[in-house]
Structure 1
Amino acid sequence: MILRRIRAHIEAENWFAVFLDFAIVVIGVFIGIQVANWNEDRAVERDQRAMLEQLYADLAPRLEGWREGNEVYAIEEDASERFVLDALLAGTLDETDKARFESGLMALVRWQLIDVSLLQRRMESTELFSEFQGTAYEDILVNLYSNWARTEDFVSQYENRGHDARNIIFNRIFMKPGPYNPRGFTAITPEYVFDELVQDREFRHAVAQLYHYNNQVRAQVYQAFVAVDDTVLKLEAALYPDGNTPDLNPAEPETD
């Protein structure tokens, strides 16, 4: 219709009408593109908010359980490991404390695990640094992700530092040559002689070293939970500025 009109105006050499019709076409196309872009932006914003609301729903009800569980775990592990160190320094071990001593040895060599993996998987899957770049949520998500990545790196570094000490303890208490294998560790019966361990300076040093490393890791994990808690509160404030947060039921942390 509009093309026929333009052709008729050209044949009639009505250039003003031609220009007017052309302007109408251009403006119409421009408006159509803008509406399409607006609809697309709205769809992206809806998708982003849905993802962030789900992230909040996944994390918020779990944080208290994670934090309390980590505190209990840290206290128990510290006491268990400290018992081993104290027994070696005292040079005595009652038969009734043998199981506790062996439990402490297990705690010393156990790899430190940290799992809020749901957070990392979800944020990696959303292409965080491009999808949320320039939005009000960018700093919150970057801080949340980088904090957990930094903690995982810290744990990994201390695991590597304690590698030789774990091998020493593994070889002494099980009298088995070869490197420490965390998967087969619990299936082997201890065969150590306590008095020999007391006299073994290298063994005592390995115990003290791992006790120190593990406490460093526990302290870092605690700080990580504090930081995650803080950034989740910021996410809550950004998503629900009116304070009308959803009613979330506490849930158990996901495991891989």
Structure 2
Amino acid sequence: MTGNSEFAGCIALVTGAAAGIGASAARWLDAQGIGELVLVDIDRPALDRLGLSCKVHPFGGDVTDPSLWKLLEREVPRIDYAVLNAGIASNGEITDLDITAWRKTLSVNLDGMFLSLRTALRAMKRANRGAVVLTASVSGIKAAAGTAAYSASKAATIQLAKVAAAEAARYGVRVNAIAPGGVDTGIWDRAEWFAPLIEQHGGRAEALAAMAKDATPLGRFASADEVAAQIGFLLSDAAATITGTCLVSDGGVSL
């Protein structure tokens, strides 16, 4: 990418950057010529394996820890773009859901989102410019049994993005959310019920394809790279008048 890119010389924050959508977003920004990337993930060593060409400032830590964000604010005074993606998945029906599990999901997905958003907006307010994308989910739009904690956290993320957009517009900062449906990331591999599906269908790709055929009108899940490109659009000047929206990228699940 040439130095004429709108991202050239800029600094972008990406949370949950070690894998999945976060890693793809970091690679997308790198390919667009971003000047520096500030990467945050609980898996600190994985950040070094992303193979990025730009300058990288890796931070290992829990996004729910306020001290992590105090440190980052001291060491990274400037942020031009932010992809706030860190989160965890969970399941369980309300009657069976333990309060500890509920609080863990809400803590990572919502408290962590608030803390990272606050840090990004503080830096952008000083510069009177910036763009932020929060990773939500179609689960925050369409109800599904067994997803109470996750769905509540993602619905709150969408509303948080709207409130932030209303507050930040006066200092030239845009804030949007993206709500993917099924995405081919490692999150599936950590689900106990996924291994039997792989065995049943004869492979991981085959299992995901079967799930997507049943679950989405388009009959396919997204790749992490596709979602990263959509996030990139929301960050870019092509979306200069878009703020406070939630881009639903779910293959038609919410229709």
Does the TM-score normalized on the shorter chain lie above 0.5?
A: no
Normalised by the length of structure 1, the TM-score is: 0.27
Higher relative contact order (CA 8 A, sep 6+): 1
Normalised by the length of structure 2, the TM-score is: 0.28
Q: Which has the higher helix share?
A: 1
Bigger Cα Rg: 1
